[in-house]
Structure formats: C-alpha cells, structure tokens
Amino acid sequence: MPQPESRTVTTASAVSAMDPVLFEVIRNALVEATEEMSVTLQRTAYSTNIKTRLDYSCAFVDAEGRMIAQAFCQPAHLVTIGRLVPRAVAEYADEHRGATLGPGDALLVNDPHRQASHLNDVFLISPFFHDGDLVGYVANCCHHVDVGGGAPASIGAFREIYQEGIILPVVKLFDDGDLVDDVLKLMLANVRAKKEVAGDLRAQHAANEIGLRRLSTLWERYGTEMLGSYMDRMIEYSERRLRAELAELPRGEFAAEGCLDDDGITGEPVRLKVRIRFDGSTARFDFTGTDAQRAAPMNCNLTQCFTACVYVLKCLVDPDIPLNEGFYRPIEVIAPEGSAVNVRPPAGVVGGWEVAMRLCDIMFRALADPLPKRVPAGTKGMICHVGFGGEDPATGEYYCFLETLAGGYGGRHDADGPDAVQTHIQNTQNAPVEETELNYPVRIHEYSLVPDSEGAGRWRGGLALCREYEFVGHEPMFTTLADRARFPARGLYGGDAGKVASYMLISGGAARDLGSKATVQLTAGDRVRIETAGGGGFGPARERDPEAVLRDVREGKVSRARAREAYGVAIEPGEWAVDLAETGRLRRSAGR
Amino acid sequence: MTGNQFHLGIDVGGTFTDAVLICEETGRIDTAKVPSTPADPSIGFMAAVERVLEGRAVDPGTISRLVHGTTVATNSLIEGKTPKTAFVTTEGFGDMLEIARQVRPSLYDVHFEKSRPLVPRDLCYEVPERLDAEGGVLKPLDEDAVREIAAALRARAVRSVAVCLLHGYANPVHEARVAEILREEDSDLLISLSSTVCPEFREYFRASTCVINACIVPVVARYLAGIEAGLKRAGLQAELLVMQSNGGVLTAAQAASKPVFMVESGPAAGVVSANFIAGQLGHTDLISFDMGGTTAKAGAVLDGRPRVTKEYEVGAQAQPGQGMTRASGYPIRTPVIDLVEVGAGGGSRAWVDPGGGLRVGPRSAGADPGPICYGRGGTEPTITDANLVLGRLNPDYFLGGEMELDVDAATAGIRERCAEPLGLAPIEAANGIIEIANATMVNALRLVTVRRGNDPRELTMVAFGGAGPLHANRLCMEMQIPVLVIPPSPGTASALGLLVTDLRHEFSRTRVTAAGAADPGQIRSLFEVMENEGRRTLRREGVAAADMAFRRGIEMRYAGQSSEVPVALPREGADDGTDARALVGAVCRFHGEHERIYGRGYPEEPVELVNFTVTAIGRIARPRLSKIGANGEGVSDALRGTRRVFFADAAGFVETAIYDRARLRAGHHVAGPAIIEEVDSTTLLHEGYRAGVDESGNLLISPGRAP
C-alpha cells in the first residue's frame, strides 16, 4: 500500500513509544465490547423501532468523558453519547452536592436542552468501576417509540418542548443495582406504549450490564494504567490521522445554504447556512446567518449540529480512521446560540434530527466545488418520521408505532445514487410489512419505488419510495414529521433536482395534501399515502450513457417519456433498443 | 483389497478439492488434494475421486457411500452466474427486492452501493391477491393475472421463478394455486414457493431465501446431474449425498430442489468433522477452528450439536469489528451452522496504515500470487511469510517438500513493508503480524463463545485447516481453552465431516401464540404434520423407520421482542413433549436460555411461542477409524532435529525440537517448545504445553511439562 514518504516518516516516531500490536488488540477488544452491548440491546428490545429498525447505539466513554469506542449503528447517536455523558455526570454531581456514582448505578436522561437529542432518544449511562475506581462509562441511546406529549409516537409539531413529551433531567434509574421504581412509574405513567417503553428500558439496562461485564475482563487482564495509556494513544492516533488528512484537503472557505419546507407551526421556511473552512490542520464549520430559532419543532441543539459536522468530515477522509474523541479535536463549530442550529429552552426540538440531516446535505453541497469526487448530490435529506397510535380494536389497549422512510441518494461523480435508502446520519432498517400487520391494526397496501422521481443526471439520483397505510377498525392519530415537500434534493454539476415528497390523506374518496409536518385524527378506513423524495443527479442528464437510460426504462424506473424529455434518449417503439439517430438529434437540439 | 466397502467424501473448495476415503472394515483413511476447477467444478471433483481411488487401487464398485460438500451454489450467486430468474409477489410489493432493508452496508461512505437485486425489476411480477396476518383471504387470487405472468415468463425465456406472497407463511393457499397455474402453462418451469422453502414471517427475508433458491436451482441441478453422470461412467453405484449448511446430508435429488439449504455446505463439514473427532474422545462441548488460506472460521458445538443460526447472509463481507447492519449480501433464513469467519488466513496481507498502525487482513493474496515466500510474484507480506520468518515453517518441507519457501524474500518484504515504516526489526514486525492475526481470531472465538454465553474454559478446541495448527495453541492460551485437539492430516480433516453425519431435514412453521394460551393439542398436530413430512422424505431417501429420529423445538421470545431463542422439547418415553406440563418446562428453559445469552431473564414477563420446528434425522452408521497403536520406539525416534524458532513469551529465538508427525506413535508425549511437522500442516507447541498422541493419531495439547 504505497503512501507518501513524508507521511510515513512523521508517523514512525509517534508510534515507536507504544506496542503497535497491543494497540490494535486493545482497540478491537473495546469495540467488541460495545458490539456485544449492541447485540444484546437489539435482541432483548420490545419496540419495532429498536429490535427491527435498529434505532439505537452503544458506546464506551472513559472517566474523563472521552468517547473511546462505539458499535456500528446510528451515526446520529454516537457523537451525542460522547458529548452528553460528561455533562450528565457532572450535572448529576452538582445537583446532588457532589454525590458520586457507585457500581450498579445507572443514569437516565433525555433532555435536549442538556445536549441530549430529542426527547424520544433516551440515554442510559452506567459507570464502570475497576478495583473500586471509576474508569469509564458504558452508555446507550434508544429512540423510544413514545415519550408522551401531544401526539402518538411523540413526534407532533408543537411550539414548546413541554408539549413534546416527558423530560428526564439526569435521574437515577438504577441505584446500587436496584431499579428506582418511582422513576420508572413516573415515566411509564406519561407514555402511551407502556409495554414497549418498559421492555426497551430493560433492554438498555441489560446491554450496559453486558458491556460492564466484558470491560471487567479486559481491565482484569491489562489494568487501568496500561489501558489508560492505550486509550490516550487511540485518541492521539485518530487525531493524528485526521490532521494528516486535513493537511491534504484543499484549503479555503466553502459556503452553501438551503431551506427546510417550514418550521412545522408557521409556513415560513427555515434557512440554514454554512461556511466550512479548511486550513490544513483544522476544520471550522460556521453556521452564522442561519435563521433564529422558532417556537416550533424544527430546531436542533449544538450536539446535533456537531454530529452533522463530524459525520460529513468522516465521510471525506479515510473511512478507516476510528471515530473517537481524537476525531473531534480538530473540529470547530460556530453555531450562534438561539439559532435553529443551537436552540435555547423552551423551544421545541423534536425535529432536531431533521435539521441536522439537512445540514449534511448542505455541507456536502458546499464542498462539491473543492471535492467533486468525494460528495454526493442532494439526497432525500430528511429523517421522514411516520407515527401513529390509538386504541387497538383487537385488544382495547393503546398502541403506538413509529417508523422512518427511506428515499433517493444523490448521484456521485462516477455512480448513480442508490434507490430507496437511508442517508447520512440515519441508517435505520424498515419494519417488515408482515410483522407490522401482525402487531398493529394497520394494513399496508403498497411499498414500492416511485418511478421518475430521480433527479436526472449523467449519474442519476436514487428513486424515492412510496408507502400506503390503511387503518382498520379504529380511529388513530397519525403524524408525519418530515420535509422535502417544497425544496427538492438538488443536483450537482448540471444534474437535475429530485422529485419532491408528498404526504396525502385519502379519506372518503377524496385526497388531501397534509404537507410534511402534520398530526391528524383519522377515521376507520382512511388511508395515508407517502411518497418520499428522490435524490439529485450528478452531471448533465444529456450526458448519461443511453444504455443506462435504456436499462432504467426497461426496469420501469424511468418512463419512456421522461427518458426523452429529461435525458434526450429515444427508445425504439416496441423494442428494447436505443434509437441512436433520434437520440443524437434530441441531444444535439438540446445542446443548441 | 477385495471384499472391503469404502466411504468416499469429496469437498470442493475455492482453491482445492479434497477427497477422503475410509475403509469400512479397517477404518483406514486415505486422502487426496487436487486443484479445484471453478469453470466446471465437476472436473476437479472427478479428478479427486480418481486420485484417491488410484492411490489405493480401490474398485469403484466397492464405494458404498458417497458424500459431497460444495460451495458451487454460493459461488454461482456471488459471481452472478445464475440463469434468468423471475419473482412473483403480491400487488403493491414488487419492489421488495429493490428496497430490501433500505439501509447502507457502510455508514461513513458516500460511495456505498446496495447489493444488486438477484432478480432485475423487469422480471418482478405483481399479482392481485391479499391475505391478512392470520392467513385469511382479504382479496382472492386473480388467476387470469397469473396466466398472463406465465405468458410473460415464457416470452422472456425464464426458467426458474420464486413466488413469495404476503403472509404466505400463514397460509400457502395462494402460492400453491399460483404454482399450479404456472405449471399448467409451462410444465418445464422450475418453481420455488416461499411457503415451502422457508415458511416464516418477515417478507423480505422469506422472499430473499426463496429467490436465492430459485436462482441456484438450475445451476445446482445441472451440476449434480453432471457429477452423477460422471460417477456412473467411473463405475460408482452409491447414491450421491450432499452436505447441507446445517451439517446434515440429504440426497442429491432433494438438494437439487432446495439448494438454498446447501449454500454453506463446505464450511459446515468442518464443524461436523470437529464434532466427530472430539466425540471420539468423549468431548461434547467444543470449538471448531478452521484456518485456511484466506479466512479463519470458528464454530461452536454444545452438547454434541453444532450451533445453528438462521441469520445468515450469502456473499456478505467478512470484516472484523463490523456489526450487525451488514446488508452487504443476501439474507437467507434457512438453518446454517453458526460460523464466524474473519479475514485471517495464511494468505492474509499485513500492511501499515497511514496513521502508523500495523494491520493484518482482511484482504488476502490468495493462492495466486500467494505469499512472498512462494516466489510466484507476491510482493505483500502475509501471515505465512511471518510464520516462515519466525522459524515456524520449514522452508524445505512445505507441502511435504513439494514447494520450497524463500525465507530471504519473505524477510525482505516484511522489512520493507512493515518493519521499516514502524521503526521495528523484521522479526519484531513478523511477530507483530502474528499477534495481530491471533487477536483477530480471538475476537472470532469470543463471538462464538462468550458472546453466545459459552465459557471457553469449559470447551475443547479442535483445530485444522492448513494453518490452524500453527496458531491454535496460542489462541487456546489466550482464551484459556484447556484442551486442544489436532487431528491427523489437518489440511483435509474438514472433508472427513462429510462421512460422519446423518441425513437431516428441517421444517418450521410460524404460529405466534401466547405461551399461556397455547393449545397443546394444536401444537401437537402441527408437529405431527411436520414429522410426517419428514418421515416421507426420509423414506424416499431409503431410511428404515428404526433409523429415524425427530427433534422438536419451539423458538420463543418475550411478547414484544423480535428475536427468538430456540428451545428444544425433550422426548422421553411416551411423552410427546407437547402436553401442558412439557410446555411449562420449555418456557422455564427459555427464561434460563435468555439469561444465559443476554445476561438477564424476566420470568414475570409473558412469553410468546413463535416458530415451531422439527428436525427429521435419518441415522447413518459412523465409520470406525483405524488406530495407530504403539511401536515400542521412544519419541526420540520421531525427532528430526532442532531449529531456531521465535517465541514472543521468550522474547526471542529458542532452539526448538522438530518432530515428524508420521513417526509419532500412540502414547508418545512431546513437550513444548516444539514443532511437529507433517505433509499438509505444521503444529506449533508452546513452552508450558505438552502434546500427547492418542490411538487415533490425534495430538492432544494441554498445559503441562514433559513427563
């Protein structure tokens, strides 16, 4: 593997002070401990959101609160854990006159205004002791299907956080190994999906216990001193590698901006702005000029904003660099307090991840000019939450369901954007139709790609997807918290924008556009049809290989009419062949 | 040689095709290794058959059993060499394969790709019909639409079709009717039904299993027919049996209709072999460790039964440290022996990353060009090169001397690519490569032991594959595994597994039921239906009733969870395992299993019964292996000399005794540090360990000093 000479020389001296072998062994063992937490959490969880859609994450943080190791799951959560743990632990100590945590304790927190994320993301933090000393924390974050508030699944659009659900400041859920019943009782009294929330909390605890068990073996083997010094090395190693990459990125300042459809309360779009500066050893992300925060759900906090920046930078550099505290060090984020990217209480925040997701799209666009080969065109660019709940006619119990829908990815400089896929900070799986229908009073009539929804391009964007629900024998509340109904995923380098999303209620034979953020009371037999957004194209559509267009037409992803209009490709009538003469004519005339 | 009957096993791998021949009367084993012939694997197959028979001048007519393990099914998928296949599903869901799980296989990579659907979108057909989750008909099947699809399939020259209708697991009525109509319209069409192949819920996973079956049916059927014809020409009369992914065998006819059950046929044989070898020693809880040229595979056997999983992806990338959201391959939901595979084989490459870290694998130099020391143009250091530099491999006795290894080239390569960039001596770097590879393998071992709740200190390791015996002792040290078994001829030991297993068929049905409300009578009849199906299949395969056995199991979970834990239903005497008391017992065991695996059980929480399973087994007599016996000579007779070998625990080279395994006899003991060489492998014995030789020729390695 050839590497530039200078790089090899500078790294050699830094490494010589440690055993590179033990370094690799310890690093893998720490990651493995978090992976084991991850498996436990998934397999023992109760809500579809955790067990099937994998909307959770696990990590290990050292005693100083530095992110050390994390399992492969949701990028969104992982930065948050690292930011939240030191703060939560410190606040807990402050609020309890310096009281320290002991073995068997576990802290529960979800307060976004303390730099958790949105209320649905509930964090459980367990201190890890070795020989009586605190040496770190295992923590996990789960998106709970419901945390109370004004709409089932707790994703409704409201002005204040108090309307969004139960706020958990930093409280003990476990004290010296015992469940603090009062806290659990209080929490369950405030949520709709009691069984799922209780089961998922149990799973969160089981995951941390498994993590603690695994770490104990490791600490018994190597001891605190040695592991401490290797954890320092791991952090230095990531920082060193990131800085080496930053040294090779083009220097300068790169800006872009974009808009969310609306804030969920008023029809006013939320404008997001970023200027990214690379100076050879640091990356600065400046969001000055972004709209002020709204009394609405479409605000994110500083942690979520930082998460988006880490995500984008991580994608630009060697994917092999381990993500830990060292990776964060060269990153500077300037996000004006009180803006939509650094929200102050008591504003709503449930749409915070929607904001952070769009920031990723905008940041990639800012970097398209200096780094055309490393960024995708605009993507579905939203989390696209769908939630519903009500009384299950079969059991008489209150049920609650949440899922997030995929969309098109953006075209790349040498490849199409994949169809129907989660993007950026989100990588949640879909809920199987059969499992959903088995467990909830809903019927899904269609789950398909949306033809012609791609942004045309030399490399086309990915197709959006469609999901149509029918509610059977009961009258649930239905909520979407999404975006992209007004502003499409943009193309790059002459590529076209993707198709915008649509959110339709079909009731009594009439269809009504709900917009991207809505909570509606349905009647039995109502249907909701959601078509998400397609990805943007990369490069001019008329430069697309006609054979690739033909394949898309043949596969029914692109219509013949669109092939002609958007791509200037004519397909022989009744045959699967490109009409070369006509295509040449079409493309020539478009060129003039 | 007349009068004796023989059992023959043929294992077609990616690089080599192995043959193992056992004499029924004497238990003597002969093996042969020939290069695989990927373009037409049956050529290598027949070559291996001829080679092993020639070696002993065995008359082909005396082969009484013939078992085959193969990766041909998987390879045809991975290489995209499957014939045109179509997919039929419920209206509204034709994009099931395109959408798949809607996730990316790698998180921080804007250049990712989703795995390409095995059936292109224009060969995915939708048919109007709909069942609900209980199997009730919401919308009747539109038969005319099915006939139109049949016409389209004919027009497109489709040979094989997968049918997976929504909730088809709960009621096969519509799928069965679709099959009837398609067959009426085209009697040559090969049809795979999800309700037959894999009647479990979660549509994408069932569909994926069914589609893979449909894709490989034509390939496997043709391949097996070709082999059967070749065998006939060569005068072999025995019925061809095929190893499945679950470790059992089935007849070639069965394999040809449900080939998705044999995608991991080859690797499964290794675990079965390990289980057999340990079983002969009375060990029922073990780890199978198979290290070859490109990967190392670890599997667990508990209570004499290999662990089986239903979460498997064909063609997924093996990457240490990568978690569950893999989505880089095609999922199947048929039982597969639970193996963890890591990219650490003899040919795995070592490199220095841009941050100054020494890394090993998962990329491999393969067999061609191979490690630097092979002298075939390889330039990147590998695990084999490191072992050579450390004195662990004998440059003059690799493959019994068939290939000479170039120590100087290996040393120079490691110096240039690994040692100098890190400021290390080549020996230190070589040792580092081995330590890192070992650490990767330890992670794999952890995955199949501690992560599944099994304590490695209570297990035996059986190590094989060409490279396994070089590393196994160190791994046992790390994992505190008390006993290590190295079978004779480790390089072909995996193929032995083909000859020491039973006919085996798995059946399952999804019926989600609250444990408290379960009706034992209904459950009993569900089991009986599956058992009757199993009985019919075994009878067709010629198994006598006395040799049949049926195992019942229920996969359970806490009501609300989605991951099920399998619980076996014991069958004692007349108890059929499904009366109310037996169910209570099974639920109790579920709580215990949940606690064992996930650290906690919740006995107060309600439990659901999800999948009901039956394993139908047709017992096959095991061969008795010959004994090597003692010859009165001392162990010094096997001593070949000494060589300087590097040991990390000694922090340097140690003058080490080298033994010839072929001359070791039962009762001999060798004390570490030592090296034991044989034609297809090399065993490294560490200081503080000793190896005893048993009557079957196994090396039994445990902590201890020379006697």
CA distance B566 to B337: 14
CA distance A35 to chain B (A): 6
Residues of A in contact with B512 (CB under 8 A): 438
Looking at the structure, tell me whether residues B205 and B316 fall in a common domain: no
Residue A430 in this model has a pLDDT that exceeds 60: yes
B253 occurs within a structural domain: no
Structure tokens at A373: 């080969």
Distance CA A551, CA A558 (A): 9
CB contact under 8 A, B98 and A40: no
A375, B96: Cβ pair inside 8 Å? no
Within 10 Å of residue B311's Cβ, how many Cβ atoms? 13
Per-residue pLDDT at A3 exceeds 70: no
Pairs across A and B, CB distance < 8 A: 241
Please tell me the distance from the alpha carbon of residue B655 to that of residue B644, in angstroms, as a whole number: 4
The list of chain B residues with pLDDT below 50 reads 1-2, 318-325, 573-574
Single out the residue in B202, B220, B238 at which a domain terminates: B220
Task: Provide the pLDDT for residue A48.
Answer: 82
pTM: 0.87
Alpha-carbon distance of A454 to B448, in angstroms, equals 44
With respect to residue B512, please indicate whether it lies within any of the assigned structural domains.
yes
Tell whether A394 lies on the interface with B, counting CB pairs under 8 A: no
Taking CA–CA distances from B116, the nearest residue in chain A reads A418
In terms of Cα–Cα distance, which of A112, A142, A140, A115 is closest to A126?
Answer: A140
The one-letter amino acid at B37 = T
**pLDDT (tens digit per residue) in A468-514:** 999 999 999 999 999 999 999 999 999 999 999 999 999 998 999 99
For residue B623, tell me if it sits in a domain. Answer: no
Taking residue B378's Cβ as centre, other Cβ atoms within 10 Å add up to: 23
d(CA A557, nearest CA chain B) in Å: 8
Count of the separate structural domains present in chain B: 6
Is B189 found in the same domain as B82? yes
Whether B108 is covered by a domain: the verdict is: yes
Q: Do residues B157 and B185 share a domain? A: yes
Taking only the tens place, the pLDDT of each residue in A22-63 is: 787 788 789 888 988 998 898 888 888 888 888 899 999 999
Q: Are B289 and B352 found together in one domain?
A: no
Range of the domain at B111: 78-220
Chain A window 293-322: which residues touch B at a Cβ cutoff of 8 Å?
Answer: 311, 314-315, 318-321
B258 within some domain: no
- For residue A160, the distance in angstroms to the closest alpha carbon of chain B comes to 32
Q: Are residues B575 and B466 in the same domain?
A: no
Q: Write down the pLDDT at residue B266.
A: 83
ipTM: 0.92
Q: CA-to-CA distance for A341 and A219, rounded, in angstroms?
A: 40
Beta carbons of A433 and B325 less than 8 Å apart: no
Q: Where are the domains of chain A?
A: 15-242, 376-544, 546-591
Q: Does A575 touch chain B (CB under 8 A)?
A: no
B539 CB-side CA count, 13 A: 7
**Among B541, B603, B496, B449, which Cα is nearest to B274's?**
B496
Interchain CB contact of A55 with B (< 8 Å): no
How many C-beta neighbours within 10 Å does residue B556 have?
25
Rounded Cα gap, residues B86 and B107, in angstroms = 31
Judging contacts by C-beta atoms under 8 Å, the chain B residues touching residue A199 are: 558, 560-561, 605
- Per the CB < 8 Å rule, is B106 touching A319? yes
Write down the pLDDT at residue A12. 33
Q: Which of A11, A21, A200, A216 to mutate to test the interface with B (most CBs of B within 10 A)?
A: A21
| Closest Cα in chain B, distance from residue A295 (Å) | 33
What is the three-state SS of A493-520? Answer: CCCCCCCCCEEEEEECCEEEECCCEEEE
Give A196's contacts in chain B (Cβ within 8 Å): 560
From chain A, pick out residues whose CB is under 8 angstroms from the CB of B167: 434, 437
Is A73 within 8 Å of chain B by CB? yes
| CATH number of domain containing B196 | 3.40.50
B103 CB-contact burial (10 Å; exposed 0-12 / middle 13-18 / buried 19+): buried
* Average pLDDT of the segment spanning A277-290: 97
| Predicted pLDDT of residue B626 | 79
Cβ of B108 within 8 Å of Cβ of A421? The answer is no
The distance of A505 to chain B (nearest Cα, Å) reads: 18
| Three-point CA angle B224, B229, B235, nearest 5° | 125
Within a domain: residue B260?
A: no
pLDDT digits (tens, 9 = 90+) for A74-133: 777 878 898 899 999 999 998 888 788 999 999 999 999 888 899 999 999 999 999 999
Q: Would you state the pLDDT for residue A8?
A: 31
Domain endpoint, select from B618, B651, B666: B618
CB distance from A48 to chain B under 8 Å? yes
The minimum CA-CA distance between B472 and chain A, rounded to whole Å, is: 17
Spatial separation of the C-alpha atoms in residues B144 and B86, rounded to whole Å: 18
> Would you call A435 and B201 a contact, using CB atoms and an 8 Å cutoff?
yes
Place of tokens 């139960």: A166
Do B340 and B377 fall into the same domain?
no
| A360–chain B nearest CA distance, Å | 12
For residue A122, CA distances in Å to A107, A197, A268, A289 come to 10, 10, 30, 31
Taking CB atoms and an 8 Å limit, are B203 and A443 in contact across chains?
A: no
Q: What is the pLDDT of residues A167-197, one digit of tens each?
A: 999 999 999 999 999 999 999 999 999 989 9
Domain of B599: which CATH number?
Answer: 3.30.1490
Q: Which residue has the tokens 């993500």?
A: A323
Closest partner residue to A422 (CB to CB) among B104, B204, B351 is B104
Is B521 found in the same domain as B603?
Answer: yes
The pLDDT value recorded for residue B80 is 76
Look at residue A2 in the predicted model and tell me its pLDDT.
Answer: 36
Joined together, the tokens standing for residue B249 give 């065998």
Looking at residue B321, its pLDDT comes to 39
Cβ distance A244 to B355 less than 8 Å, yes or no, reads yes
Q: How confident is the model at residue A334 (pLDDT cuts 50, 70, 90)?
A: very high
Cα first-last separation, chain A: 47
- Judge if B320 and B465 occupy the same domain: yes
* Residues B411 and B321 grouped into a single domain: no
Co-location of B340 and B354 in the same domain = no
| pLDDT at A148 > cutoff 80 | yes
Chain B interface includes A559 (CB < 8 A): no
Structural domain includes residue B237: no
Residue B41, pLDDT score: 86
Of A20, A375, A465, nearest to B357 by CB-CB distance is A20
CA of B655 vs chain A CAs: smallest distance (Å): 25
Are B325 and A54 inside 8 Å of each other by CB?
A: yes
Inside any domain, residue B625: no
Please give the structure tokens belonging to residue A339: 């803006």
Structure-model confidence comparison of residues A416 and B580, the more confident one: A416
> Within this chain, do residues B16 and B139 fall inside the same structural domain, yes or no?
no
Domain end position, chosen among B436, B459, B480: B436
Does residue B86 sit in the same domain as residue B128?
yes
Contacts of B209 in chain A (CB under 8 A): none
In total, chain A counts a number of residues equal to 592
